[in-house]
Amino acid sequence: MLDKVVLALGLLEDDESLLRLYELHRGLLGECGHSTLHILAAAAANLRRWGIAQRIWRILDRRDWGEGLTLPSVMFPQSRAVNLRKPAPGRNSRYSTRMVVSLMSPRALREALEVISMVESKTFSRGQIRRRVQQIAKQNPLFFHHLEFLFLEDSEYDLWAELLLLLEKPEADELVFRVARGQQGTMTERLEILSLLAKHGRIPPDQTVEVWDETRGEWRTLRVPYWEIEPLPPETERIIVQVLSQTEDLVEQGKWKEVQREVEEALAAHPNMPELYFLLGEAYLNQGYQLKALGAYQRALELDPQSPLARCSIAILHLRENDTEAARRMLEPLGRVRMHPREYIHWLEAMALLHFLEHDYGLAQFYVNRALEEDPDNQILRQIQWMIEIQLGEGIQRYAQERKERVAQRRRRPILADASLAECLDRISRESLQATARAMPTPVSYGGVRKSELIQRLTRVLTDPYWLERIVRGLSAQEQDALWDVLKAGGVMAWELFTERYGDDLGESPDWEYHEPETVMGRLRMLGLLSDGTWEGQYVVLVPK
Q: What is the DSSP letter of 57?
A: H
Taking only the tens place, the pLDDT of each residue in 274-292 is: 999 999 999 998 888 889 9
Task: Let me know: does 188 contact 152? Beta carbons within 8 Å.
Answer: no
Mutual orientation of helices 361-374 and 379-392 as an angle, nearest 10°? 150
Is residue 405 assigned to a domain? no
Q: 3-state DSSP call for residue 82?
A: helix
The verdict on 387 and 255 lying in the same domain is yes
The verdict on 472 and 537 lying in the same domain is yes
Is residue 247 assigned to a domain? yes
> What is residue 376's predicted lDDT score, i.e. its pLDDT?
82
For residue 307, pLDDT over 50 is answered with yes
Please state, for a pLDDT cut of 70, what percent of the chain lies above it. 88
For residue 67, pLDDT over 50 is answered with no
> What is residue 220's predicted lDDT score, i.e. its pLDDT?
92
Spatial CA neighbour of 196 closest among 160, 231, 232, 222 = 160
Mutual orientation of helices 379-392 and 395-411 as an angle, nearest 10°? 140
Q: How far apart (Å, rounded) are the C-alpha atoms in residues 336 and 339? A: 9
Is residue 407 assigned to a domain? no
> What is residue 74's predicted lDDT score, i.e. its pLDDT?
44
Mutual orientation of helices 274-286 and 234-252 as an angle, nearest 10°? 10
Distance of CA 537 to the CA centre of its chain: 20
The verdict on 264 and 386 lying in the same domain is yes
Q: How far apart (Å, rounded) are the C-alpha atoms in residues 397 and 420? A: 35
Instruction: Return phi, psi of residue 307, to 5°.
Output: -60, 115
Q: 3-state DSSP call for residue 537?
A: coil
Task: Let me know: does 347 contact 334? Beta carbons within 8 Å.
Answer: yes
The verdict on 242 and 378 lying in the same domain is yes
Residues present in the chain in total:
545
Alpha helices in 270-376 (DSSP H): 274-286, 290-303, 308-320, 324-331, 341-357, 361-374
Is residue 434 assigned to a domain? yes
The verdict on 268 and 382 lying in the same domain is yes
**Alpha-carbon separation of residue 145 from 50, 152, 163, 216, 411 (angstroms):** 27, 11, 12, 33, 28
Spatial CA neighbour of 257 closest among 229, 280, 224, 230 = 280
The verdict on 92 and 150 lying in the same domain is no
The pTM of this model reads: 0.60
Q: Quote the domain boundaries for residue 93.
A: 2-103
The verdict on 377 and 435 lying in the same domain is no
For residue 349, pLDDT over 50 is answered with yes
**Residue predicted with more confidence, 385 or 164:** 164
CATH number at residue 268: 1.25.40.10
Is residue 399 assigned to a domain? no
Residues in Cβ contact with 258 at an 8 Å cutoff, skipping those fewer than 6 apart: 247, 250
> What is residue 244's predicted lDDT score, i.e. its pLDDT?
86
**Residue predicted with more confidence, 101 or 32:** 32
> What is residue 173's predicted lDDT score, i.e. its pLDDT?
93
The verdict on 250 and 382 lying in the same domain is yes
E strand or H helix that includes residue 211:
strand 208-213
E strand or H helix that includes residue 208:
strand 208-213
Spatial CA neighbour of 383 closest among 252, 516, 537, 511 = 511
The most confident of 192-206, 208-222, 305-319, by mean pLDDT: 305-319
> Would the CA dihedral through 46, 51, 56, 58 be positive or negative?
positive
Q: How far apart (Å, rounded) are the C-alpha atoms in residues 338 and 333? A: 11
**Residue predicted with more confidence, 309 or 2:** 309
For residue 387, pLDDT over 60 is answered with yes
For residue 394, pLDDT over 60 is answered with no
Mean pLDDT of 242-258: 86
The verdict on 113 and 85 lying in the same domain is no
For residue 407, pLDDT over 80 is answered with no
**Residue predicted with more confidence, 91 or 304:** 304
For residue 454, pLDDT over 80 is answered with yes
> What is residue 443's predicted lDDT score, i.e. its pLDDT?
83
Domain edge (last residue) among 223, 250, 268: 223
Spatial CA neighbour of 419 closest among 523, 539, 525, 530 = 530
Please state, for a pLDDT cut of 90, what percent of the chain lies above it. 34
pLDDT band at 261 (very low <50, low <70, confident <90, very high): very high
Query: For residue 72, which amino acid is it?
Result: P
Taking only the tens place, the pLDDT of each residue in 202-214 is: 988 778 899 988 8
Taking only the tens place, the pLDDT of each residue in 504-529 is: 888 777 878 777 888 899 999 999 99
From 57-66, 118-127, 493-502, the region with the lowest mean pLDDT: 57-66
Instruction: Return phi, psi of residue 209, to 5°.
Output: -140, 160
Task: Let me know: does 451 contact 377? Beta carbons within 8 Å.
Answer: yes
Taking only the tens place, the pLDDT of each residue in 119-176 is: 777 788 888 999 999 988 888 877 888 788 778 776 667 888 999 999 999 999 999 9
**Residue predicted with more confidence, 371 or 62:** 371
Residues in Cβ contact with 358 at an 8 Å cutoff, skipping those fewer than 6 apart: 324
The verdict on 153 and 298 lying in the same domain is no
CA angle 243, 246, 248 (to 5 degrees): 100
> What is residue 409's predicted lDDT score, i.e. its pLDDT?
77
Sheet holding 531-535, edge to edge: 492-494, 538-542, 531-535
Is residue 520 assigned to a domain? yes
Burial class (CB in 10 A: 0-12, 13-18, 19+), 201: exposed
Is residue 229 assigned to a domain? no
Q: How far apart (Å, rounded) are the C-alpha atoms in residues 124 and 122? A: 6
Mean pLDDT of 429-439: 87
Which DSSP string do the residues of 136-160 spell out, in sequence order? Answer: HHHH-TTHHHHHHHHHHH-S-HHHH
List the end-to-end C-alpha distance of the chain, in Å, as a whole number.
51
The most confident of 328-342, 406-420, 484-498, by mean pLDDT: 484-498
From 83-92, 152-161, 356-365, 429-438, the region with the lowest mean pLDDT: 83-92
Taking only the tens place, the pLDDT of each residue in 374-383 is: 888 787 888 8
Mean pLDDT of 27-54: 79
Q: How far apart (Å, rounded) are the C-alpha atoms in residues 461 and 182? A: 53
Taking only the tens place, the pLDDT of each residue in 98-125 is: 655 555 667 767 777 788 788 777 788 8
Q: What is the mean pLDDT of the chain?
A: 83
Total domains in the chain come to: 4
For residue 78, pLDDT over 80 is answered with no
Q: What is the CA radius of gyration of the chain?
A: 26
Domain edge (last residue) among 161, 188, 223: 223
**Residue predicted with more confidence, 317 or 84:** 317
Within a 13 Å sphere around the CA of 437, how many CA atoms are in the beta-carbon half?
21
pLDDT band at 91 (very low <50, low <70, confident <90, very high): low
The verdict on 42 and 134 lying in the same domain is no
> What is residue 328's predicted lDDT score, i.e. its pLDDT?
94
Q: 3-state DSSP call for residue 539?
A: strand
Which DSSP string do the residues of 470-502 spell out, in sequence order? Answer: HHHHTS-HHHHHHHHHHHHTTSEEEHHHHHHHH
> What is residue 397's predicted lDDT score, i.e. its pLDDT?
58
Domain edge (last residue) among 56, 78, 103: 103
Is residue 478 assigned to a domain? yes
Q: How far apart (Å, rounded) are the C-alpha atoms in residues 489 and 492? A: 6
The verdict on 420 and 371 lying in the same domain is no
Region of 122 (left: φ > 0; alpha: ψ -120 to 50; beta: rest) is: left
Task: Let me know: does 269 contact 238? Beta carbons within 8 Å.
Answer: no
Mean pLDDT of 445-453: 78
The pairing of strands 218-223 and 208-213 is: antiparallel
pLDDT band at 61 (very low <50, low <70, confident <90, very high): low
E strand or H helix that includes residue 212:
strand 208-213
**Alpha-carbon separation of residue 424 from 415, 514, 515, 527, 545 (angstroms):** 8, 21, 20, 11, 9
